[in-house]
């Protein structure tokens, strides 16, 4: 690099202007590189994600309350209220519960999704997913339209 020593008016002072052309060239090259690589790096599948909202549970007397936990050996334990049930008993009781509620409503013509009972599942934090999934599958097979999960609300941090 060289430095210009003279000016137009015969000044002997050096020029203090910075040549910004190389800087602009480098910035433009970086901008072009980023514009090309960002769409390649960010690959997404277009999805419409559900909005999460915290709703208080409305408990109706006909709702079914289930608790799911695992014993020390990792076996699934399902409780209808406070009574332990097997998978077969869960299916039988669920079908019978829906039949009884439909009979109370006056037959299938009076049934709407809002007046059928719901199943509320409380799952222990350490329960394997297969236990919860099995209960949901059994309830779905029985005919339950609404299955909800009960959780602890997050309290204020202390």
With vertex at residue 98, the alpha carbon angle to CA 105 and CA 104, rounded to the nearest 5 degrees, is 20
Judge whether 81 lies within some domain.
yes
Strand partners of residue 119:
64, 147
- Residue 28: predicted pLDDT: 94
Report the SS3 class of residue 119: strand
Q: If we measure between CA atoms, which residue out of 154, 92, 79 comes closest to residue 123? A: 79
- Residue 111: predicted pLDDT: 83
Tokens 């509320």 correspond to what residue?
120
13 compared with 22, residue with greater pLDDT: 22
Separation of alpha carbons 153 and 108, rounded Å = 37
Q: Which tokens belong to 125?
A: 């934090």
Packing angle of the helix pair 129-142, 87-105 (nearest 10 deg): 40
Judge whether 11 lies within some domain.
no
Judge whether 24 lies within some domain.
no
For residue 106, what is the domain's CATH number? 3.30.420.270
Separation of alpha carbons 138 and 147, rounded Å = 11
- Domain enclosing residue 138, as ranges: 64-150
Judge whether 123 lies within some domain.
yes
pLDDT of 14-53, one tens digit each? 777 888 888 999 999 999 998 888 877 666 556 555 555 6
Q: If we measure between CA atoms, which residue out of 67, 100, 79, 87 comes closest to residue 138? A: 87
Judge whether 127 lies within some domain.
yes
Q: What percent of the chain has pLDDT over 90?
A: 28
Judge whether 155 lies within some domain.
no
Judge whether 89 lies within some domain.
yes
Strand partners of residue 123:
68
Number of domains, the chain:
1
Judge whether 133 lies within some domain.
yes
Q: What percent of the chain has pLDDT over 70?
A: 77
């Amino acid at each position: 690099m060289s430095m210009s020593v003279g000016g137009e008016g015969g000044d002997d002072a050096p020029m203090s202007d910075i040549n910004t052309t190389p800087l602009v060239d480098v910035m433009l090259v970086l901008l072009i590189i980023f514009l090309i690589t960002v769409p390649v790096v960010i690959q997404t599948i277009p999805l419409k994600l559900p909005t999460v909202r915290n709703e208080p549970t409305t408990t109706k007397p006909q709702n079914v309350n289930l608790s799911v936990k695992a014993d020390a050996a990792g076996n699934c334990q399902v409780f209808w209220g406070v009574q332990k049930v097997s998978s077969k008993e869960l299916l039988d009781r669920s079908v019978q519960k829906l039949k009884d509620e439909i009979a109370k409503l006056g037959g299938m013509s009076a049934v709407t999704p809002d007046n059928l009972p719901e199943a509320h599942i409380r799952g222990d934090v350490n329960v394997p997913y297969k236990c919860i999934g099995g209960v949901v599958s059994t309830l779905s097979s029985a005919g339950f339209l609404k299955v909800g999960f009960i959780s602890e609300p997050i309290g204020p941090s202390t």
